[in-house]
């Protein structure tokens, strides 16, 4: 089994979610630092165009989006679990709700200013060309109210004395909620939202104490060489049934439903109902299989 390689940058909240997964599962992993803004030629060599942070690499298999990355790391190291028994629908619902705070906070940061440099702002404008960032300041008060409401729900979820959101042990719901709110401390507009609470800050300290596992740095060129020398894991003999108009072996485009990440083209491989897997070839990485979660991604046949 190949050692996990995380392509990320240290300031990324979503990468923090996966770094905490490594910590919870006490995994050793390699860290490849990627640029915060485009271009990201080494990352897109592996992904075929996907640019979001983080991305997980296991040999010649590349996993995009933290939802898919978490599921793959659960298979790699099942204990302690990210998905407690009896939470199959509750956990993703809670995680998805908690992560709505991320874009609320980003909107406040853009509107209030003072946190992002010009290069970052310009890069994000290109990711979302239909968004008028110059008007973000007008909705800062409304977003602060929304953030306060989300935090109030977390505070009340912890009010019965539980240590973590779903009980006595941490789960992926905790890591999803943590990364979405921990960076509120970074701005004077949002930091007071946490200071008015008691249970959420203590819970955040428990999550931070999980740590990041055993991290070692790695050069991007070395990670690409690992992919070039490896063989992707074979797909299952049979995949989940496909709707009319799609077949395994088709050349397809994977389109993120969220703005800001490029499409990826490749051969559609068999996979289970929760995953999209496509085979593609990079000039330096050779043959790789790129994996996406089914949530938030569309598969469209080419031609």
Alpha-carbon separation of residue 165 from 62, 149, 177, 195, 205 (angstroms): 30, 16, 9, 19, 14
- Residue 130: the pLDDT is 66
Q: What are the sequence ranges of the domains in the chain?
A: 90-208
- CA angle 18/15/162 to nearest 5° reads 50
- Residue 124: the pLDDT is 75
* Spatial separation of the C-alpha atoms in residues 182 and 134, rounded to whole Å: 26
* Spatial separation of the C-alpha atoms in residues 65 and 291, rounded to whole Å: 9
Q: Tell me the pLDDT tens digit for each residue of 200-223.
A: 999 999 999 999 999 999 999 999
Number of Cβ within 10 Å of residue 59's Cβ equals: 19
Q: Tell me the pLDDT tens digit for each residue of 238-292.
A: 999 999 999 999 999 999 998 778 899 999 999 999 999 999 999 999 999 999 9
- Residue 28: the pLDDT is 98
- Residue 122: the pLDDT is 82
- Residue 115: the pLDDT is 84
- Residue 204: the pLDDT is 98
CB 207 within 8 A of CB 21: no
Q: With a cut of 50, which residues of the chain have pLDDT below it?
A: none
CATH topology of domain 90-208: Glutathione S-transferase Yfyf (Class Pi); Chain A, domain 2 (1.20.1050)
């Amino acid at each position: 089994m190949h050692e996990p390689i995380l392509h990320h940058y240290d300031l990324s909240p979503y990468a923090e979610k996966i770094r905490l997964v490594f910590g919870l599962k006490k995994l050793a992993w390699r860290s490849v630092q990627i640029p915060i803004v485009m271009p990201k030629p080494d990352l897109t060599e592996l992904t075929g165009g996907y640019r979001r942070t983080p991305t997980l690499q296991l040999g010649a298999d590349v996993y995009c989006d933290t939802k898919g990355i978490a599921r793959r790391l659960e298979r790699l190291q099942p204990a302690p679990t990210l998905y407690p028994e009896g939470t199959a629908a509750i956990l993703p619902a809670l995680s998805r709700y908690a992560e709505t705070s991320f874009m609320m906070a980003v909107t406040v940061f853009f509107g209030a200013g003072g946190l992002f440099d010009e290069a970052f702002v310009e890069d994000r404008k290109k990711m979302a060309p239909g968004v008028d960032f110059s008007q973000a300041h007008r909705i800062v008060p409304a977003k602060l109210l929304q953030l306060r409401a989300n935090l109030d729900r977390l505070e009340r979820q912890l009010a019965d004395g539980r240590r973590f959101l779903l009980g006595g042990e941490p789960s992926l719901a905790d890591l999803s909620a943590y990364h979405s709110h921990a960076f509120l401390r970074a701005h004077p507009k949002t930091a007071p939202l946490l200071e008015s609470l008691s249970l959420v800050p203590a819970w955040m300290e428990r999550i931070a104490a999980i740590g990041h596992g055993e991290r070692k740095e790695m050069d991007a060129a070395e990670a690409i060489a690992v992919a070039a020398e490896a063989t992707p894991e074979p797909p299952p003999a049979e995949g989940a049934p496909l709707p009319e108009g799609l077949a395994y072996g088709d050349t397809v485009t994977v389109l993120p439903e969220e703005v800001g990440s490029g499409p990826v083209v490749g051969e559609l491989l068999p996979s289970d109902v929760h995953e999209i897997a496509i085979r593609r070839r990079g000039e330096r990485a050779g043959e790789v299989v790129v994996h996406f979660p089914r949530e938030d991604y569309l598969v469209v046949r080419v031609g």
